[in-house]
C-alpha cells in the first residue's frame, strides 16, 4: 500500500510540475519599432559579422546583410539587405538574452540597464570575446542604453540620433 501511495504522489507531483513548465510568461522588451529603426542597424554593423554575433551558436545572434543570414530565407551574406524576418529575429534575440533582467530594466525605466549583458559585455565589464567595443557614455553605449529606457517620443528621438552617430562612426 505504501508503494502505491508513493507512486500516486509522484504522479501528482509530475502533473503539477508539467503545468508549471508549460506556462509561458510574456516577453517584456523595449519597443520593437525603435529597435528595428535605430538600434538594429548599429548592432548589425558593430557586432553582426560572422566572427562575432553572426553565429547561430551565440546566445545573442545577429542576422543581417553582411553576416549570418536567417535560415528561413535564401539570402547570402553580402547580398540582399537585411530583411524583416532577420530584424525580428535580432529583436527577439536581444530581448530574450536575459528576460528577467530586461523586464526589471523596463520596470525601472532603464536605471538597471547597465546590468544587462547587452550593455556590460560591449563595455568590457564582463568577459567578452570581442573585448571592449564601446566606452561607457559614447554614442553606441547611449544607443543601447537609451533604447532600454526610452519611454517618450523625445527619448526615442534622442536614441535615434545616438544610434545614427554611432553607426556613422563605424564607416
Q: What is the pLDDT of residues 133-151, one digit of tens each?
A: 999 999 999 999 999 999 8
Residues in the chain predicted with pLDDT less than 50, given as ranges, are: 1-18
3-state SS of 65-81? CCCECCCCCCCCCCCCC
Within a domain: 126? yes
0.85 cut: is pTM over it?
A: no
CB-based contact 77:66 (threshold 8 Å): yes
Within a domain: 63? yes
Domain encompassing residue 155: 30-168
Within a domain: 154? yes
> Per-residue pLDDT tens for 73-89?
999 999 999 999 999 99
Within a domain: 115? yes
pLDDT for position 20: 59
Within a domain: 39? yes
User: Using N-to-C axis directions, what is the helix angle for 139-149 and 99-107, rounded to 10°?
Assistant: 80
pLDDT for position 118: 97
Within a domain: 149? yes
Amino acid at each position: 500500500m505504501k508503494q502505491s501511495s508513493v507512486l500516486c504522489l509522484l504522479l501528482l507531483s509530475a502533473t503539477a510540475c508539467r503545468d508549471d513548465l508549460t506556462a509561458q510568461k510574456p516577453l517584456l522588451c523595449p519597443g520593437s519599432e525603435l529597435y528595428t529603426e535605430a538600434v538594429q542597424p548599429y548592432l548589425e554593423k558593430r557586432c553582426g559579422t560572422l566572427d562575432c554575433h553572426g553565429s547561430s551558436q551565440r546566445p545573442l545572434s545577429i542576422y543581417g546583410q553582411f553576416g549570418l543570414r536567417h535560415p528561413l530565407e535564401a539570402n547570402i551574406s553580402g547580398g540582399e539587405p537585411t530583411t524583416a524576418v532577420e530584424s525580428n529575429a535580432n529583436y527577439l534575440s536581444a530581448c530574450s538574452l536575459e528576460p528577467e533582467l530586461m523586464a526589471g530594466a523596463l520596470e525601472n525605466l532603464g536605471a538597471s540597464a547597465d546590468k544587462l549583458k547587452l550593455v556590460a559585455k560591449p563595455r568590457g565589464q564582463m568577459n567578452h570575446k570581442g573585448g571592449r567595443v564601446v566606452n561607457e557614455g559614447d554614442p553606441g553605449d547611449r544607443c543601447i542604453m537609451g533604447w532600454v529606457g526610452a519611454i517618450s517620443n523625445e527619448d526615442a528621438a534622442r536614441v535615434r540620433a545616438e544610434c545614427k552617430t554611432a553607426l556613422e562612426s563605424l564607416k
